[in-house]
Amino acid sequence: GDSVTQMEGPVTLSEEAFLTINCTYTATGYPSLFWYVQYPGEGLQLLLKATKADDKGSNKGFEATYRKETTSFHLEKGSVQVSDSAVYFCALSDGGGATNKLIFGTGTLLAVQP
């Protein structure tokens, strides 16, 4: 079945460092890809998304490009802030499926130190 694999955390960075969180997927169709962020004590929020190959999703300085050839959707940010500390989840959705379920990776905890 479809699955998402993302790098294990925690990832600890200093403020203004460059961030990469790797995410790869396995899917039989052509899924939509998402990054969600979960701040401490809160629910998930959609950070960015991409619906087809070569699409780049971006929001709040974060970017991710849908790479079909490498089945990847790595999350990047050029300069992280303390306020970016959260758990980041990569997810896919089979847009053509009857239920359109989201399948999540295990999450990566990011801790940004001042």
Residues that bind another protein (CB under 8 A): 32, 36, 42-46, 49, 51, 89, 93, 95-96, 99-102, 104-107, 109
CB of 50 to another protein, least distance (A): 10
- DSSP character string of 71-111: TB--EEESS--GGG-EEEEEEEE-TTSSS--EEE---EEEE
Of 28 and 99, CB closest to another protein:
99
Nearer to another protein, 82 or 101 (CB): 101
- For another protein, the closer of residues 27 and 102 by Cβ is 102
Nearest approach, Cβ of residue 107 and another protein (Å): 5
Residue owning tokens 């087809």: 52
Instruction: State the Cα–Cα distance between residues 104 and 25, nearest whole angstrom.
Output: 10
Give the Cα-Cα-Cα angle 64, 66, 72 (nearest 5 degrees): 90
Question: Cβ of residue 84: shortest distance to another protein, in angstroms?
Answer: 19
CA nearest neighbour of 110 among 89, 83, 81, 87 = 87
For another protein, which is the closer residue by CB, 62 or 89?
A: 89
CB of 26 to another protein, least distance (A): 15
